[in-house]
Structure 1
């Protein structure tokens, strides 16, 4: 069994839900303790989010440019007891939990890459390794990282993508989400229902006139949570709907959210109800040109390792979106984790090994 696979299996066994990443952070600190010259810094993000751990930062001096690798320590649930299985070259859980390849594959690759930098004598760029917290909850760890850790960084490679090894996420959507709230009027449903205004009925009419789901090839929207009502014998007085929209086009996103708000406002007015909303734009999406320098080095590394490069669009965001929002050239690279956020999550041992060879070459190719 290769060292990268051993590291991943050890990490996968450690439960680390968002805001409770401390055990994984301690594993990382203990793993790197064998290198006396390495200092593992921990920031104060944990205190800011009421978590038990902050982001970890490891910097290894070198030449120019300064590149940063990023992976997140937290996973989604269920993750209380994870029993990774390696069968026929594929790593899975035992079916009762997630595996945590999202994103412990990235963590394992970063630790193995640090080993490479510390034990093999070769000229290399200055490298920072950022192990973030709370990525699964609105990318909070990356958003709250102090700017001083990013000021001198030229490129950021986030190791948190899906797709075959060699995939770079070059296009991600812009997003908007929040609450759509219909305020009607309560009344006794059996005595005087005509005196009430049923918030559910109002909202249902508004939603029925909207397109929900896939709007076009660039745009989606969804209502994922509905909360309202107090009892079956009371006309529903309020209903809150949790709404989100995403689009690769900022203009389409704006048009869609305006249409949703205008539709709810119009229907509410017809029924004598009130409408409130808290829709807000999220972390911006991004689109990279094929000739972007951050991609050039990755393409050369892939070519050297006989890996097919491909640029891909992704319907979700990652820490790369945060760093680009903060003005740093960043891209998300795939570790080929599959079926993430489910008990069917898996990753191939060979993909961990292959991605490590690509990243080693990236250190040589980046300029």
Structure 2
């Protein structure tokens, strides 16, 4: 067994232990303070220069020892709900699952651990490496609200890997979809539907006319459109005002 093989075997066991450690820290969106404190300590133990902005995002920098451009590695600290009281159980085949009603939190604790273990493995190998930048962001699950407030002017890297993707190991995505959502309020005029309906303006009827003009489903090979929620009216005998 080569030195690298031995290091990888030890790193695998350490990665599992670290994963189990981190997923038991509650980290809902905008509530990542506890896990951030632990991650800052771990990054400093790796010899990284660290900063945390007012939003809570963590930035780390590790100088390189080779004449290579820097690389950015990123993962997020928050998890979806229900996130309180996360616990794990290990099945006989080694699969790790949630042991309770809360999510497991593998998204994105797996990415956090992969980055930490990757750096440890490179350092232990003694191989030359490029400078490494790290961003551990908050509030990714709420459509990257945390990263919107991050100061990217400090980033030196031109290449980046975001460790937040499901699928076969070794797979990478070069681009990903985004979501643009909106809410439209149609204002009409209320009136008694039995006595004087002509004095009203039916907001639901207006909306129905608009919906008939909005294409649904695939607009092209990459774009879809959907109207998912409609709310309106107060009572069945009142012309709906909104």
Q: TM-score, normalised by structure 1?
A: 0.57
TM-aligned CA deviation for residue 71 of structure 1: 0.2
3-state SS of 2:136 partner: strand
3-state SS of 1:68 partner: strand
Structure 1: distance between partners of 2:17 and 2:226: 40
Does residue 27 (structure 1) correspond to residue 41 (structure 2)? The answer is no
TM-aligned CA deviation for residue 133 of structure 1: 0.8
Contact 2:86-2:100 within 8 A present in 1 as well: no
TM-aligned CA deviation for residue 230 of structure 1: 4.0
Structure 1: distance between partners of 2:125 and 2:139: 33
Report what 1:82 is aligned to.
86
Structure 1: distance between partners of 2:162 and 2:81: 22
TM-aligned CA deviation for residue 81 of structure 1: 1.8
Report what 1:141 is aligned to.
146
Q: 1:39 aligns with which of 40, 49, 62?
A: 49
Does residue 225 (structure 1) correspond to residue 235 (structure 2)? The answer is no
3-state SS of 1:176 partner: coil
3-state SS of 2:174 partner: strand
CA shift digits 1:53-98 (9 cap, x unpaired): x111111100321001000011111111212122122122135222
**Equivalent residues in 2 for 1:2-21 (5 A)?**
2-21=13-32
1:199–1:160: structure 2 CA closer, same or farther, 3 Å change rule? same
Report what 2:188 is aligned to.
184
Report what 1:71 is aligned to.
75
Structure 1's unaligned 5+ residue stretches are 47-53, 239-367
1:232–1:114: structure 2 CA closer, same or farther, 3 Å change rule? farther
Q: 2:160 aligns with which of 135, 156, 161?
A: 156
TM-aligned CA deviation for residue 33 of structure 1: 4.8
Does residue 237 (structure 1) correspond to residue 234 (structure 2)? The answer is no
Structure 1: distance between partners of 2:167 and 2:19: 19
Report what 2:130 is aligned to.
125
3-state SS of 1:140 partner: coil
Report what 2:63 is aligned to.
61
1:112–1:164: structure 2 CA closer, same or farther, 3 Å change rule? same
1:212–1:29: structure 2 CA closer, same or farther, 3 Å change rule? same
Does residue 103 (structure 1) correspond to residue 103 (structure 2)? The answer is no
Structure 2: distance between partners of 1:60 and 1:180: 47
Structure 2's unaligned 5+ residue stretches are 1-11
Structure 2: distance between partners of 1:216 and 1:143: 28
CA shift digits 1:207-265 (9 cap, x unpaired): 24544234454221122333433445432212xxxxxxxxxxxxxxxxxxxxxxxxxxx
Over aligned residue pairs, what C-alpha RMSD do you find? 2.2
Structure 2: distance between partners of 1:125 and 1:14: 31
1:194–1:94: structure 2 CA closer, same or farther, 3 Å change rule? farther
Structure 2: distance between partners of 1:198 and 1:67: 57
3-state SS of 2:172 partner: strand
Structure 1: distance between partners of 2:171 and 2:48: 31
Structure 1: distance between partners of 2:152 and 2:44: 26
Structure 1: distance between partners of 2:223 and 2:152: 32
